[in-house]
Structure 1
Amino acid sequence: MSRALATAVAAFHLVKTAGLLNNLAAFPTLRRAGRTVRAGRVSLLVPTRDEAGRLPEALPGLLAQDVDEILILDDESTDGTAEIARAVTDPRLRLLPGRPKPEGWVGKNWACHQLAEAATGDLLVFCDADVRLAPGAVGALRDQIDAQRADVFSVFPRQLTGTLGERLLTPLIDDVLLSFLPHQLLDAPAPSAATANGQLLAFSRNAYDRIGGHHAVRAEIVEDVALGRWARQVGLKLGLALGGDLIRVRMYESYGEAVRGFGKSMRAAHGGSDLALAASAGWHLAAYTLPWLRWRDGSLWRASALAAVAQRLLVNAKTGRGAYAEAVLPPVTALAALPVYAVAMRRTATWKGRDYPVPAGRIGDHTTGAR
């Protein structure tokens, strides 16, 4: 049994490393390009709810973009978010008061739906309030949309982390993306190869209308992945890139925030299954923590332990994060993730002061169709 487990863990790391090495070359990163005259209007759309602590840092980057309009929707904030946006004098920026959320909608999806209703652009670029855009970011995004011929395009920003707890959990987003989704598979018919990132997610207006917009995924907590899979199902072309120096984000500012944030979506990502959550937690302990505890028990365990270190180094190099000292963290990362699984075991996800029931279906199951 021990030999079989060691072999399985080593095989897992072999496959993961192969996927990562492929994406080191294949996965594109946004690059600032020269100013190009393009046809079509661009709408930069920002849903906000209690973002007074983050919006001041985001605004300079939003205003530095070559776009036709910047719409900020205030989703019933109680912390002065609207006042911060209202103080901006740029004529492109409009503050929209959000309407009360209807039953059956996730708050962010409802906010994005309202933004799309008000937007006049041919390209709709949804951007979270914690995302920081460098000058030229939207231009670089449009270059990659053209290069990848994408109808739906998203960016995985460079992750900014401050505390040790953030460093343990937040970089796992890049680790999973770059290790298990070869960029070439975005054109594959398999639904599992379709993904998107709602932190920065762009649609042509025609594509957005064709999939039914956020209405089609109104009850989805992990709405971005659902949108990507739904877009694939109706025959649209997906595109992805890393943010590089142009698009960065600090998702959470503490370990506790990271646990709550990842926990709210983890259950849906595991099909609503307690068994799948438990199996995932156990496997990651076996793959990342156990090899160090079994270091003296054979070369397979040692190879797995060192592979995890190499993977973190390669991921951080590809994303441009640096932070190479994080390579020592994989053995404790699986332990640090256990509270995330505990949060995910709950039947209700809580975020931004709202509670949402977590459905037992898979991400991206659609029974209502696009409207």
Structure 2
Amino acid sequence: MVAGLVRKMGWVGVSMLVRWLLGWVLGLRLPLLPAASPVEPPTVSVLIPARNEESTLPHLLDGLARQSLKPLEVIVVDDHSSDRTAAIAAEPRAGLPVAVLASLPLPQGWCGKTWALHNGVLASRGELLVFLDADTEPGPDFLECLVAAHQQLGGLVSVQPYHRTEKPYEQLSLLFNMVGLMAVPLGPGCGVAFGPALATSRADYDRSGGHAAVAGKVVEDWFLAHAYERADLPVSAFLGFGRIAYRMYPGGLRDMVVGFNKNFATAAGEVRWSWMLAVLLWLSGLFWAAWCLPASLLGWPLVGDRAVLSNALVYGAYALQLLVITRPVGRFAWINLLFPIPVLFFLGVFLLAILNLERGKVQWKGRTFSTR
């Protein structure tokens, strides 16, 4: 029976089917932050590093003011901003105790974000530390669910926010979002951490070495997870669909290219290659699907079946898959149907990241960081 199926589909068709099925396995295993309420919730300090975030910070602070679980304090650490970040953070919000802390001069060997959070922790008083990026937008029950998850799991608990897109160029981030999630294990004790939203007890933070242990790391979340594991502390990660969102790189296409370039160049060596191999197999099928339909229509080079109908079916199968598996990850609608466009964008940024690895440095928010 199997041999008959292979003869009918051909090896190319069978290979494509296997890669497509692999996409379902990788894309449907992404766990969401569960809905729960903490038992006797601890005092919570929310720490926010902010560098030139005047356009994003109000969304976060307004969201924190609406939380069902009220934080003890919110500390915004102004990382030498040149805009109105500090002034906006200092604006009064009903029921939200916000303090603005000016970051000290950046010492050698530290990154701006790790230095800001290190000093924020020193100034905080809560039993539980919650680190939130300035562009995150928490729903009303986010802190409640995050604290409950931490009570159950301990160690370091992180959440990858839902990617809210507004402008057409933001849709190009489709594959970066999916590959970044598909290439790592997620869930309780997975050993992976996402920097936009993390929770830890003060005791575990001190035991791991905290941000001082990852002072010079641009992608500090990966290495913070390692620090917790070295201290024999669990590290867990979830998706934030329905709980917390963010809008990445609202400053334009250039910011998005540089941002993803930075992540690629600095975190490439941290990916678990057993997972990445599976992702590469899926990507190879997606890339082939992006090529096969226009190739069959325009007479471009093509291995295997050149029939337009069969290639349209392959294209449609991948478009349908993307529509389903991206739903809890981000707002990607029409771009799923035109997925060859984000495929080309992904490949272009990937090549730039390789060049930055060779150069040994990358720029981000006016600072130069090493990729080695």
- TM above 0.5, one fold? yes
AA aligned to 2:171 is R
The equivalent position to 1:176 in structure 2, one of 174, 179, 183, is 179
1:34-53 → structure 2 map (5 Å cutoff): 38-53=40-55
Alignment of 1:240 onto 2:237: yes
- Whether 1:317 aligns to 2:314 is no
Structure with larger Rg: 2
- Render the CA deviation track for 1:196-248: whole Å, top value 9, x for unaligned: 11101111112211110011111111111111233223321122222222211
Are 1:145 and 2:158 an aligned pair?
A: no
State the distance in 2 between where 1:97 and 1:249 align: 24
TM superposition shift of 1:338? 3.3
Per-residue CA deviations over 1:14-57 (Å, capped at 9, x if unaligned) read: 3232122344xxx13343x56x5624211000000111121122
Task: Quickly say closer, same or farther: Cα 1:239–1:94, change in 2 above 3 A.
Answer: same
For residue 106 of structure 1, what is the aligned residue in structure 2? 111
The equivalent residue for 2:158 is 154
Q: Partner residue of 2:24?
A: 17
Q: C-alpha displacement at 1:339, in angstroms? A: 3.6
CA distance in 1, matches of 2:318, 2:154: 33
User: Which consecutive unaligned segments of at least 5 residues does structure 1 have?
Assistant: 188-192, 273-278, 360-371
Instruction: Give the structure 1 partner of residue 56 of structure 2.
Output: 54
TM-score, normalised via structure 2 length = 0.80
Which amino acid in structure 2 is aligned with residue 82 of structure 1? Answer: A
Residue 138 of structure 2 corresponds to: 133
Q: 1:335 aligns with which of 336, 341, 344?
A: 344
> Against the structure 1 CA distance between its residues 38 and 137, is the aligned structure 2 distance closer, same or farther, given a 3 Å change threshold?
same
Q: Distance in 1 between matches of 2:361 and 2:170?
A: 23
1:85/1:159 Cα in 2 relative to 1: closer, same or farther (>3 Å)?
A: same
The runs of at least 4 consecutive aligned structure 1 residues that moved more than 6 Å come to: 3-7, 282-285, 299-303
Q: CA contact under 8 A between 1:126 and 1:201: conserved in structure 2?
A: yes
Corresponding residue for residue 206 of structure 1:
203
Tell me which of 348, 360, 367 is aligned to 2:361.
348
Distance, in Å, in 2 between the alignment partners of 1:6 and 1:261 is 37
Paired residues of 2:192 and 2:236 also in contact (CA < 8 A): no
Rounded Cα–Cα distance in structure 2 between residues aligned with 1:351 and 1:18: 34
The 1:230–1:306 alpha-carbon spacing in structure 2 relative to 1, beyond 3 Å, is farther
Paired with 1:105 and 1:357, the residues of 2 have a C-alpha distance of 11
Q: Say if 2:26 and 2:182, in contact at 8 Å, map to a contact too.
A: yes
Aligned in 2, Cα 1:228/1:311: closer, same or farther, shift over 3 Å?
A: farther
Which residue of 178, 195, 220 corresponds with 2:217? 220
Contact in 2 for aligned 1:265/1:349 (Cα 8 Å):
no
Render the CA deviation track for 1:245-298: whole Å, top value 9, x for unaligned: 2211001123222111101121122239xxxxxx9xx98874433324335534
Relative contact order (C-alpha < 8 Å, sep 6+): which is higher?
A: 1
Distance apart, 1:123 and its partner CA: 0.8
Partner of 1:365: none
Structure 2 CA distance for partners of 1:131 and 1:329, relative to 1, 3 Å: same
Name the CA distance, whole Å, in 2 between partners of 1:236 and 1:54. Answer: 32
Alpha-carbon separation, structure 1, partners of 2:321 and 2:178? 8
For 2:281 and 2:211, locate their aligned partners in 1 and report how far apart those are by CA, in whole Å. 34
Q: 1:178 to 1:339 in 2, by over 3 A?
A: closer
Rounded Cα–Cα distance in structure 1 between residues aligned with 2:19 and 2:158: 28
For residues 105 and 43 of structure 1, the distance between their equivalents in structure 2, rounded to whole angstroms, comes to 23
Distance (whole Å) between structure 2 residues aligned to residue 45 and residue 55 of structure 1: 12
Quote the sequence identity (%). 30
Q: Secondary structure at the residue paired with 1:317?
A: coil
Aligned residues: 338
Question: In 2 relative to 1, CA 178–52 (structure 1 residues): closer, same or farther, beyond 3 Å?
Answer: closer
Q: 2:4 maps to what in 1?
A: none
Deviations 1:166-199 (A, max 9, x none): 1121x43542355344545x54xxxxx5211110
**Contact 1:178/1:315 (<8 A) preserved:** no
Change (3 A) 1:138 1:285: closer
TM-score by length of 1: 0.80
Deviations 1:309-346 (A, max 9, x none): 23322223334x56443321322212112342244222
Whether the 8 Å contact between 1:49 and 1:75 is mirrored in structure 2 is: yes
In 2, Cα distance between the equivalents of 1:20 and 1:286?
15
Aligned partner letter, 1:310: L
Paired residue secondary structure (1:114): helix
Report if the CA contact (8 A) 1:156-1:199 is conserved: yes
Worse overlay, 292-301 or 252-261: 292-301
8 A Cα contact 1:154 1:200, kept in partner: yes
Aligned residues: CA RMSD: 3.1
